[in-house]
Amino acid sequence: MKSWKTSSPRSAKRVLLALVAAIAICLGGLLAASPAQAQSNYRVCYDFNSSNQPTVKIGTGLVTKVYKNGDDTCNSKLEFMKKYYANAYSGSFASTNGVMVTCEQFADLIGYQGDPCYEMDINKIYKYTSKYDLYNPIKGQPSFTFWHN
């Protein structure tokens, strides 16, 4: 019975490179297909103060993720955020809000790449940054920091 052998070091190198390339292609396909799914059963409600593109984008503010049928929760969270906005952003106030906005729409409004709902727990309030804030626009990916229950 013959054993498998390469005839030269070059042949072995080619086989190894082909094997590595095949593994990379398989892993690349798996990684590209995974977390791109949106959290379709959730919406966000947010308050913010200012934007450098006021009719199309939103600035830094407060946001909460709620279940898609959670209109009452959204409204009570918005009331709280408006009332205590100055505690989160000293000397500022909430001037504009968004009610039951999809996670994808919110991502576009702040310049976030991906689904921001993965960054938040349901019914918690977060401070968020935005690429479109009037006074402090950020250059990189917007971020989320837990602020209040």
pLDDT in tens, the chain (149 residues): 555 454 556 665 665 455 445 554 544 443 333 344 667 899 999 999 999 998 899 999 999 999 999 999 999 999 999 999 999 999 999 999 999 999 999 999 999 999 999 999 999 999 999 999 999 999 999 999 999 99
Domain boundaries, the chain: 8-37, 42-148
Q: Are 106 and 98 in contact (CB under 8 A)?
A: yes
Quick one: which H or E segment has residue 86?
A: helix 71-88
The C-alpha atoms of residue 133 and residue 126 are separated, in whole angstroms, by 16
What is the per-residue pLDDT for 143? 96
Q: Which amino acid is at 77?
A: K
* Residue 146, CA distances (Å) to 13, 55, 88, 126 in order: 51, 27, 11, 4
